Amino acid sequence: MLSQLACTPSTYLMLDDVGGGHTAQIYAIRQAIAKAIVAYYQKYVDEASKKEIKDILLAYDRTLLVADPRRCEAKKFGGGSARARFQKSYR
Protein backbone atom coordinates (compact mmCIF):
# COMPACT_ATOMS: atom_id res chain seq x y z
CA MET A 1 0.00 0.00 0.00
CA LEU A 2 2.84 2.40 0.75
CA SER A 3 4.23 1.99 -2.76
CA GLN A 4 0.89 3.13 -4.20
CA LEU A 5 0.69 6.06 -1.78
CA ALA A 6 4.20 7.19 -2.73
CA CYS A 7 3.02 8.15 -6.22
CA THR A 8 0.25 10.45 -4.97
CA PRO A 9 0.75 14.09 -3.98
CA SER A 10 1.42 14.92 -0.33
CA THR A 11 -1.80 15.63 1.53
CA TYR A 12 -2.94 15.72 5.13
CA LEU A 13 -5.72 13.30 6.00
CA MET A 14 -7.82 13.41 9.15
CA LEU A 15 -9.96 10.32 9.53
CA ASP A 16 -12.48 9.48 12.23
CA ASP A 17 -13.92 5.99 12.44
CA VAL A 18 -16.67 4.98 14.85
CA GLY A 19 -17.90 1.50 15.71
CA GLY A 20 -16.59 -1.99 15.07
CA GLY A 21 -13.35 -3.46 16.32
CA HIS A 22 -9.80 -2.29 15.74
CA THR A 23 -9.25 -4.45 12.66
CA ALA A 24 -12.55 -3.41 11.08
CA GLN A 25 -11.69 0.24 11.66
CA ILE A 26 -8.28 -0.23 10.01
CA TYR A 27 -9.90 -1.86 6.97
CA ALA A 28 -12.50 0.94 6.79
CA ILE A 29 -9.80 3.64 6.94
CA ARG A 30 -7.64 2.04 4.25
CA GLN A 31 -10.70 1.63 2.03
CA ALA A 32 -11.61 5.29 2.56
CA ILE A 33 -8.07 6.39 1.64
CA ALA A 34 -8.05 4.25 -1.52
CA LYS A 35 -11.46 5.52 -2.62
CA ALA A 36 -10.37 9.10 -1.93
CA ILE A 37 -7.28 8.65 -4.11
CA VAL A 38 -9.39 7.31 -6.98
CA ALA A 39 -11.92 10.15 -6.56
CA TYR A 40 -9.08 12.70 -6.54
CA TYR A 41 -7.69 11.32 -9.79
CA GLN A 42 -11.17 11.35 -11.34
CA LYS A 43 -11.81 14.98 -10.38
CA TYR A 44 -8.41 16.65 -10.78
CA VAL A 45 -6.43 14.37 -13.13
CA ASP A 46 -7.41 12.66 -16.38
CA GLU A 47 -9.54 9.55 -16.74
CA ALA A 48 -6.65 7.39 -17.99
CA SER A 49 -4.63 8.03 -14.82
CA LYS A 50 -7.68 7.25 -12.69
CA LYS A 51 -8.18 3.93 -14.49
CA GLU A 52 -4.48 3.13 -14.13
CA ILE A 53 -4.38 3.79 -10.36
CA LYS A 54 -7.68 1.95 -9.89
CA ASP A 55 -6.26 -1.10 -11.68
CA ILE A 56 -3.11 -0.92 -9.53
CA LEU A 57 -5.17 -0.80 -6.33
CA LEU A 58 -7.46 -3.64 -7.47
CA ALA A 59 -4.46 -5.79 -8.38
CA TYR A 60 -2.88 -5.10 -4.99
CA ASP A 61 -5.98 -5.81 -2.89
CA ARG A 62 -9.59 -5.87 -4.13
CA THR A 63 -10.98 -4.99 -0.69
CA LEU A 64 -9.42 -1.53 -1.00
CA LEU A 65 -12.17 -0.48 -3.40
CA VAL A 66 -14.90 -3.12 -2.98
CA ALA A 67 -16.71 -3.40 0.35
CA ASP A 68 -17.36 -6.77 1.99
CA PRO A 69 -21.18 -7.12 2.10
CA ARG A 70 -21.24 -9.94 4.69
CA ARG A 71 -23.07 -9.03 7.89
CA CYS A 72 -24.11 -10.97 10.97
CA GLU A 73 -27.35 -12.86 10.43
CA ALA A 74 -30.09 -12.14 12.95
CA LYS A 75 -31.07 -14.83 15.47
CA LYS A 76 -34.44 -16.48 14.92
CA PHE A 77 -36.74 -18.22 17.38
CA GLY A 78 -36.61 -21.99 17.91
CA GLY A 79 -32.87 -22.34 18.19
CA GLY A 80 -29.67 -21.20 19.81
CA SER A 81 -28.40 -19.11 16.90
CA ALA A 82 -29.38 -17.83 13.47
CA ARG A 83 -29.42 -21.23 11.73
CA ALA A 84 -29.16 -23.81 14.55
CA ARG A 85 -32.38 -25.34 15.84
CA PHE A 86 -33.05 -26.92 19.22
CA GLN A 87 -32.81 -30.71 19.19
CA LYS A 88 -36.17 -32.46 18.90
CA SER A 89 -37.03 -35.27 21.31
CA TYR A 90 -39.50 -37.92 20.18
CA ARG A 91 -39.85 -39.66 23.60
Q: Output the pLDDT for position 14.
A: 78
Going from N- to C-terminal start, the domains of the chain cover 2-64
Predicted TM-score (pTM) of the model is 0.67
CB atoms within 10 A of CB 61: 15
pLDDT per residue as tens digits for the range 52-88: 999 999 999 999 999 988 889 999 999 999 999 999 9
Q: Output the pLDDT for position 12.
A: 75
DSSP 18-41: -SS-HHHHHHHHHHHHHHHHHHHH
Q: What is the mean pLDDT of the chain?
A: 87
Q: Kindly state the helix (H) or strand (E) to which residue 50 belongs, with its residue range.
A: helix 47-60
